[in-house]
Structure 1
Amino acid sequence: MAINAKMVKELRETTGAGMMDCKKALTEADGDMEQAVDLLREKGMAKAAKKADRVAAEGLAQIKVDGNEAVIVEVNAETDFVAKNDQFTQLIDQIADVILNHKPATVEDALALEVPNVGKPVSEHINEVISKIGEKISLRRFEVVEKTDNESFGAYTHMGGRIAVLSHIDGNDEEAAKDIAMHAAAVNPRYTSREDVPEEEVAHERDVLKQQASNEGKPEHIVEKMVQGRLNKFYQEICLLEQDFVKDPDQKVKKYLESKGATLKSFVRYEVGEGLEKREDNFAEEVEQQMKK
């Protein structure tokens, strides 16, 4: 039976196996889709598809710097145990290299890029590692940052890659840039400066603070002053430049940078699994299910 692209695509989507592996399986099965799935399963190539509905909220965040270019990447797995696996750490290293070399615009674009010395797209290479490790693995996000010769990157990873921060400052001072990255890792600011906070978020916070002050029975002219004071505190909590510098709480981050003759251009902070639903394992239920088999 003639094997067409539609059949290969269907089998690939069903099993998660590589395109050429799907074509070979369909050829061997003479176009029988179910038999082709079985063939791939027997060879361990369809294992990735079984993992598709699992939650991958662990993993690693990594930073790679090459001259005036840098990339920060997060790759997820199901357990922190796998995040320490050599195959997994090699995988994220390969993905970071591919992204840094090609600078794709989206995760989908990155997954389609070929991995050097492997000869397969990132998506297929991930599926191969899934088949070997036995856990769902996914490229979640990345960001590529570029600088000039008069600027510096600060790269810092914490807790073995649980948290990663890439800072970018205007000024030739890598130590200062790393200090900023360490500060962001510890304090977790949401924005660089108050100018970056969305207007709707500020308006919402102002309304809440105004209602709080009104509930305290303060006169209107006092309420406005209280709201402004509390709004300034709100900015200090979420904006990196307005926070107390973690290594010297007596000065703000902005003042620290000024003392170094530098300014902050940007920072990217990844904490593995943030915003994702965590998988909760119940050991007793797992044992019970195994005994029933």
Structure 2
Amino acid sequence: MAISAKMVKELREKTGAGMMDCKKALTATDGDMDKAVDFLRENGIAKAAKKADRVAAEGLAHIVTEGNQAVIVEINSETDFVSKNENFINMVDQIARHILKTNPSSVEEALTQQVEGTDGSLQDFITNQVAKIGEKISLRRFAIVTSGENETFGAYIHMGGRIGVLSLLSGTEDSQVAKDVAMHAAALNPKYVRREEVAEDEVSREREVLKQQAMNEGKPEKIVDKMVEGRLGKFFEEVCLNEQSFVKDSDQKVGKYVASKGAEIKTFYRYEVGEGMEKREDNFAEEVMSQVNK
């Protein structure tokens, strides 16, 4: 039977597969919509294994909070285009809620746990999504945080999911203060909450670099140590959340701002999608044309 554009559009909306793949599926199944869905799944799952070696460095950071628990996840796709797809966005939320409910201790454990309402594991669920969406998808990392009495979460998502920050403050139940901290962390990218958390070898390495810099500047040896300690303070201001100048009020440090609200920062997680990963560089126009010419 003749395959209409309306049929192709309907199948694409159901599955998230590409237009040309939808047309092929409908042609192969003589226009039977249900069989075409199965056709795409079967062929898509077969193709999913071939995508395993591709680089998936795009995607979304996402946060879900329920009661006294919250989870932040990073789930990757191959292209930014797919990460904006409604099916992908819904999938990310499903996975985050599944992780929050099952409370796995690692990504490896999470992938083996059964997904409610299905007969398979989270890995099976993701593989099925690869079939529908047409790109490699991977759960890169997550963190589950539990709040205690008089503690609150701050959740902030920047640029539609490019950066996600989950903070936990004690001594307050004001979620806006916690969100302010999360927003600040998204902007200035601290590595630690306080200087005591910085590893001693990292501090020693920085101290040695600063000492060498001062010596190379020809500074008198008797004042070098004092200069190094002063400059080391600047280093802590760069990497420690409490010691950074607050983005909403540069006249005070983040730690002082939080303390003024009777609170303290317990921890935070900042996920920037694809950080530290090699990203693929594609010509999008060529990719589209390659699909049209199939």
Structure 2 counterpart SS, 1:44: helix
Asked if the contact 2:43/2:131 (under 8 Å) is kept, the reply is no
What's the CA shift string for 1:216-235, capped at 9, x where partnerless? 11122210111011000010
The corresponding residue for 1:51 is 51
Give distance in 1, aligned partners of 2:196 and 2:244: 14
Residues 222/98 of structure 1: CA separation in 2 closer, same or farther (3 Å cut):
same
Q: Distance in 1 between matches of 2:291 and 2:180?
A: 50
Question: Could you say what secondary structure the match of 1:189 adopts?
Answer: coil
1:181 aligns with 2:182: yes
Distance in 2 (alpha carbons) for counterparts of 1:78 and 1:97: 23
For residues 241-263 of structure 1, the C-alpha deviation after alignment (integer angstroms, 9 at most, x for no partner) is 00000000000001101110000
1:48-103 C-alpha deviation (Å, 9 max, x unpaired): 11111110000001000011100000100001111111221121111111111111
1:251 aligned onto 2:252: yes
Match of 1:200, SS state, is helix
SS of aligned partner of 2:45 = coil
| Deviation per residue, 1:14-56 (Å, 9 max, x gap) | xxxxxxxxxxxxxxxxxxxxxxxxx999643211111111100
In structure 2, the residue matched to 1:265 is 266
| Counterpart for residue 145 of structure 2 | 145
SS at match of 1:111: helix
With over 3 angstroms needed to count, the CA separation of the structure-2 counterparts of 1:266 and 1:288, relative to structure 1, is closer
Q: Which amino acid aligns with 1:234?
A: F
Preserved CA contact (<8 Å) 1:245 1:251: yes
1:67 lines up with 2:67 in the alignment: yes
Q: Distance in 2 between matches of 1:158 and 1:91?
A: 19
Matched, 1:196 2:197: yes
Residues of 2 paired with 1:289 and 1:177: CA distance?
47
CA distance in 2, matches of 1:82, 1:255: 41
- Give % identity: 63
1:134 matches 2:137: no
Q: So what's the TM-score if we normalise by structure 1?
A: 0.82
Give the distance between the partners of 1:280 and 1:196, measured in 2 at CA. 37
Q: C-alpha distance in 2, partners of 1:192/1:124?
A: 37
Q: CA deviation at 1:173?
A: 1.5
Which blocks of at least 5 consecutive residues in structure 1 are unaligned?
A: 1-38
Secondary structure class of the residue paired with 2:142? strand
User: In structure 2, do the counterparts of structure 1 residues 291 and 195 end up closer, same or farther at CA, with 3 Å as the change threshold?
Assistant: same
8 Å CA contact 1:241, 1:254 repeated in 2: yes
Instruction: Give me the TM-score of the superposition, normalised by structure 2.
Output: 0.82
SS in 2 for 1:75: strand
**Counterparts of 1:1-293 in structure 2 under 5 Å?**
43-170=43-170, 171-282=172-283
Q: Is the 8 A contact 2:59 2:76 kept in 1?
A: yes
- Tell me the distance in 1 between the aligned counterparts of 2:41 and 2:180: 50
What is the Cα deviation at residue 119 of structure 1?
3.1
State how far apart, in whole Å, the 2-side matches of 1:144 and 1:288 are: 42
Where does the alignment leave 5 or more consecutive residues of structure 2 unmatched?
Answer: 1-38
Given that 2:40 and 2:132 are in contact with CA atoms closer than 8 Å, whether structure 1 keeps it comes out as no
